[in-house]
Every structure is written in C-alpha cells, then in structure tokens.
Amino acid sequence: MKKAVVPILLALMLALSACGNKAANEGASNAGSANAPAGNGAANEATGTNAAAGSNASSGNAAGSAAEAPSGTVTYQSENGPVEVPAHPQRIVGLTNAPNVVSLGGTLVGVDEWTNKNPLFTDKLKGVQIVSENDLEKIIELQPDLIIAGSYMKNLDKLKEIAPTVVYTWGKLDYLKQQVEIGKLLGKEKEAQAWVDDFTLRAAETGKAIKAKIGENATVTVFETDNKDFYVFGNNWARGTELLYQAMGLSMQEKVKKDALGPGYYTLSPEVLSQYAGDYVVLSRSSASDNAIMKTAAWTNVPAVKNKRVIEIDTEASSYSDPTTLEYLLDIFKKGFLGS
C-alpha cells in the first residue's frame, strides 16, 4: 500500500468504527501488569492479570475446526464466531501467540515486543516489525492477511477493518489445545497435533524417570525473582510450570497449592521463601539481573539451596508455553534432574 494512502485509509477506518466503539477487556496484556510477573501468553505470551484458568484450563470450549470455503480461504470457527481467513496466511501480525506461530513455521510480519525480546526467537524474527494493537497505521503498512489478537486488547474492531482478525482469550484453552488451534488457523493442524502427541509422550516418560530418581512424593517449586520481589507459580503460568506439573506430573508443595494454584502466581517476601520451597526449586531470573538477592540469608537458608537442588532458567526465554519454549525447558529439566 502506498504510504500516501495510509493516513487517508486510517482516518476513514477510524471514523467508520468510532461510533459505539469501546475498549475491549482491559485485563493486562501478555506482558503482565505493573504488579505481576509476565505470564504465559501464554503463556504464557506472558499474561499479567488475565484470569488464570488453573487446573480447569483444559475444559475451555474455544475455537473449533476450519471448514473449506472458496477463493483460497477457510472459515475458522473462533471463540467469537466464524472468521473467513486465508487458507495459508503469508503475512501474519501476531499481537499474541506469536511463539505458537513461529513454532509452526508461520510467516510473521509483525510481532509483540515481548516475543521480540525472547532470545529463543531472535534469529527467527529478524526483520519482523514490533507492533501493538495501538499501532494501527504501522499494521496497515505491513499489509497483513491475518491478525492474531487477545480478547483483552483495545482496537479489535479497528484491527478487523485491516485484515481478518482472530481473537483468543488467554487461559480458555490449555497450552496443548492452544497449539492445535493455531495449527487449525494456519492450515497446519496435523503438524500441531503430531507435536502434541509426541511431546506429551516424551514429557510423561521424562517425568517418570525424574520421579524414579527423586522420589514419587518429592516436591518442586517454581520461584521467580526480579531482584525486588519473589513470586511462586501454580501449574499454568509458563516458566515450565505446565511441563513440570501437568505433563510430567511432578508434585507441588502444599502451601504453593493453597496460595498460587488458583490465581496462577503469588507474590512473596524473601523472609517466607522457605515456607513455599519444595524439595527441589526451579528459579526463573533474568540473565541481565545482578546476583545480590541470591546472596541474602533469606535465599541461602532455603533447604533446596543448601542441598544444591536448584535449577535456574532464564526468565526472558521461559515466559511462554509454545513448542519451542517447552522443548528448550524439557532439555534443561532433563539435565537438571537427571544429569543427562
């Protein structure tokens, strides 16, 4: 689209959609709220204060199958109703679920800033523009044939004027069903389902091997620190939580179940870390942060720390639950728990 036309088209589009337009659900974006660690987008596309689905996530009844339609399009049954989308989209703007798209080899032309910051996707996103739901003119210039957005985002009606827009509500589907849905959307359902079947089997086998080594009842706790606060996570807030607790079937410490399983995460003061720490600890922290908090008595007195049962993961590379991230974490946990 010629650049001179863009402002005119944008102005017309905004005028047409202005009446009755209200901001969508103002829940936090995938990057998380000001007071919460980035979630899973999703996860975790990271999740902020979006309501976590907890252990009932897999019962969500969101998007269904895609039915063939003429003119190289398919009718995708989204959670908001049928959407006519390209059978094989070539220019995707992923405001959410971009890691799922990348994992299936989809072609992104626009991506959210959090996925762009993730070191697992750096090479795969070279030349891809960083956009948000507010960058309407920039998105128009990218000429997308498909936009993937979150139900909490603003400007959904305006995005739909630019290109077919499919909306997902974080947590409505579990992490495996979400990948299959992205597969349906991209015309790659078989590939997505094949990965799910294979990964589920491999993760379960790894979980059995880990429990055989550390004990059936040994507990694992996932902490995160940003050098100011500590967080503890439930079973669906990225950082490998879906993998550890759902896929591998490892046990969660009782106090973590009580405080973090429902909301997804729980903020802790350093003084109570030992009360939430399991026999083993997975610690998520930024590779760019300093180590000062790791030298405090509050941390060094945690039994798992004393016993050298801590597995560290990089927060920036662990805040999603897509295939690329899960395969990366599966390898880390194999080495951390099994030494291989």
pLDDT digit string, tens, across residues 119-158 = 999 999 999 999 999 999 999 999 999 999 999 999 999 9
Q: Which residue did the predictor score with more confidence, 288 or 101?
A: 101
Q: What is the mean pLDDT of residues 42-56?
A: 36
CA distance 116 to 110: 10
Q: What is the mean pLDDT of residues 169-175?
A: 95
Q: Tell me, what amino acid is at 152?
A: Y
Residue 31 has pLDDT above 70, yes or no: no
Residue 163 has pLDDT above 60, yes or no: yes
Query: In the predicted model, what is the mean pLDDT of the chain?
Result: 85
Q: Cβ distance 75 to 82 under 8 Å?
A: yes
Q: Provide the pLDDT confidence category of residue 315 given band limits of 50, 70 and 90.
A: very high
Q: Cβ distance 54 to 248 under 8 Å?
A: no
Contacts for 24 with CB less than 8 Å, ≥ 6 apart: 151, 152, 153, 154, 155, 156
DSSP secondary structure, 194-228, as one string: HHHHHHHHHHHHHHHHHHHHH-TT-BEEEEEE-SS
DSSP secondary structure, 73-109, as one string: EEEEEETTEEEEEESS-SSEEESS-HHHHHHTT--EE
As a whole-number percent, the residues of the chain with pLDDT over 90 amount to 74
Digit-coded pLDDT (tens) for 87-97:
999 999 999 99
Residue 334 has pLDDT above 60, yes or no: yes
Domain residue spans of the chain = 5-190, 191-338
Residue 60 has pLDDT above 90, yes or no: no
Q: What pLDDT sits at residue 321?
A: 97
Phi-psi region of 80 (alpha: psi -120 to 50; beta: other; left: phi over 0): alpha
State the DSSP H helix or E strand holding residue 182, giving kind and residue range, or none if neither: helix 175-185
Q: What is the mean pLDDT of residues 299-326?
A: 97
The CATH architecture assigned to 5-190 reads 3-Layer(aba) Sandwich (3.40)
Q: What pLDDT sits at residue 7?
A: 45
- How far is CA 297 from its chain centroid? 33
Q: Which residue did the predictor score with more confidence, 5 or 274?
A: 274
Burial class (CB in 10 A: 0-12, 13-18, 19+), 293: middle
Q: What pLDDT sits at residue 289?
A: 83
Residue 172 has pLDDT above 70, yes or no: yes
Q: Which of 41-50, 71-80, 85-94, 295-304 has the lowest mean pLDDT?
A: 41-50
Residue 48 has pLDDT above 70, yes or no: no
CA distance 93 to 110: 4
Phi-psi region of 286 (alpha: psi -120 to 50; beta: other; left: phi over 0): beta
Structure tokens at 20: 């009755």
In the chain, DSSP assigns E strands to 66-69, 73-78, 81-86, 92-94, 108-111, 129-130, 146-150, 165-168, 220-225, 230-233, 265-268, 280-285, 310-314
Tell me which CATH code domain 191-338 carries.
3.40.50.1980
CA distance 331 to 318: 13
Predicted TM-score (pTM) of this structure: 0.83
Digit-coded pLDDT (tens) for 177-211:
999 999 999 999 999 999 999 999 999 999 999 99
State the DSSP H helix or E strand holding residue 126, giving kind and residue range, or none if neither: none
Contacts for 54 with CB less than 8 Å, ≥ 6 apart: 234, 235, 236, 261, 262, 264
